[in-house]
Amino acid sequence: MRRVCLLGLALTAACSDALEQTSSAGQVIGVVNAADNTVSFVSATDFTVRTVDLQTPGGAATTAAGRGGTVVVPLGPADSVALIHNAGVCSGTCVRPVVVFSLARGSGATGAVIQDDSIAWVGNPKLNSVTRLNLFSGGTTAFPVGAYPQALALVRGRVFVANGNLVSGVPAGPSWLSSFPCCGASTADSIPLSGTNARFLAIGDDSLVYVVDAGHTGRADGRLSVVDPVTRTELVVINGLGDSPGAAAFHPSGRLLIASASEGILEVNTLTRTVTRGPGQGVKPGGHGVTGLAIDQGGRVYALDAGGCTGPGVVHVLSSPPDYDELRAVTVGVCPAATVLAVVP
C-alpha cells in the first residue's frame, strides 16, 4: 500500500474505528466558503467548527494552500491573498490571525502553494503570471508563465503551474504545465498536456504530478494527466472523468479521490492507473455532488456539499473507502468550494 502526501502534509493509514481513533489530534480541515468569504476550520478530533473572516468583502475565495498552521487563500477578484496564522487561532500577544496582502491589479488571484515558512506562490490567471509572496513582509515578485494559470504545486524543488489556456472561460486549446526552480526562479519550462482546462494539481509520494483536466463544460471530456517532474513529460493520460471534474485528494489506500459537482466522489486507482468510480458510480453523500475533498490523518474523507449556495453548506465526514459511511455532517459557511489541511499549534 502506498502513502501519498498532498501539499506537504502526511496522511497515515486509516484506523478501523474512524470515530474513536486519535491520530488526527490537532489537525483541522480548512473549508473555504466562496459566498461569505470565510474559512471554516473543522477539528478532525471533535468536529467543532471555528470560522475566520477573510476581511475582503470584494473577494471570492475558491482555492487555498496549507503548511503546518499556515493557510494562504487567494481572493480572486479582490486581487489579494489572505494569510491565516496558526489555523486562525490567536490569543494573548500573538500576531493577527488574518493578514491580507495586495497583489498586482487585475491578478484574479487563484491557486497557491506554500514553499516554506516565509514564501508562498500565488497564481494570477488574468495576468498570465505567478507571484512569489514573502509571508513576513508582503513583498512580491512576479514571474511570467503560460495562459491562465489556475493551480500550483511544489515538488523536487520546482514550482509547477497548471495553465488552463482559457479565453473568456472557454479552453482555447490543450493545456500545459510551466515549471521552474523555486529558489532563484528562472525561465519556465513547458510541459505539454493532452487535456484541456488543467484546473487542479496534486503530488503523490512517488513525486509524480497529478493534473486534473476539467475539459469543456458539457462535453464530459474530463481526464487525469500523470506527469514526471524530473523528465518533465506527460507519462499517462487517464480518460473517463466526465463533466468538469474538480479537486483531487489522495487516500492512504492508493486511491485518488476526485470531487465532482454532478457525480459526487470519483476514484482513480493510482497503482493500476484506472478509473474505479467513474460517472454514474460516484459516491454522493446526502444525495448531492461534491465541490471539494480532504482526507485527515486517520483516513477519513471530508466531502464538501455546497447545497446550491443559498445557505450554509455541509461537510460530510465519511469513513475510508470503499464504504464511505457517513460519520458526521458538519455545518460550515455559504458555498464551500475548497479544502486545505492544517495543524493547530
Domain limits of the chain? 246-345
| pLDDT per position as a tens digit, 120-148 | 999 999 999 999 999 999 999 999 999 99
pLDDT in tens, 252-280: 898 999 999 999 999 999 999 999 999 99
For residue 93, pLDDT over 80 is answered with no
Mean of all residue pLDDT scores within the chain: 90
| Whole-number pLDDT of residue 292 | 97
Query: pTM for this one?
Result: 0.90
Region 18-44: mean pLDDT is 81
The 3 state secondary structure assigned to the chain is CCCCEECCEECCCCCCCCCCCCCCCCEEEEEEECCCCEEEEEECCCCCEEEEECCCCCCCCCCCEEECCEEEEECECCCEEEEECHHHCCCCCCCCCEEEEECCCCCCECCEEECCCCEEEEEECCCCEEEEEECCCCCEEEEECCCCEEEEEEECCEEEEEECCEECCEECCCCEEEEEECCCCCCCEEEECCCCCEEEEEECCCCCEEEEECCCCCCCCEEEEEEECCCCEEEEEEEEEECCCCCEEECCCCEEEEEECCCEEEEEECCCCEEEECCCCCECHHHCCCCCEEECCCCCEEEEECHHHCCEEEEEEECCCCCCCEEEEEEEEECEEEEEEEECC
Residue 321 has pLDDT above 50, yes or no: yes
Is pLDDT of 15 > 70? no
Per-residue pLDDT at 13: 31
Q: Inform me whether the pLDDT recorded for 59 exceeds 50.
A: yes
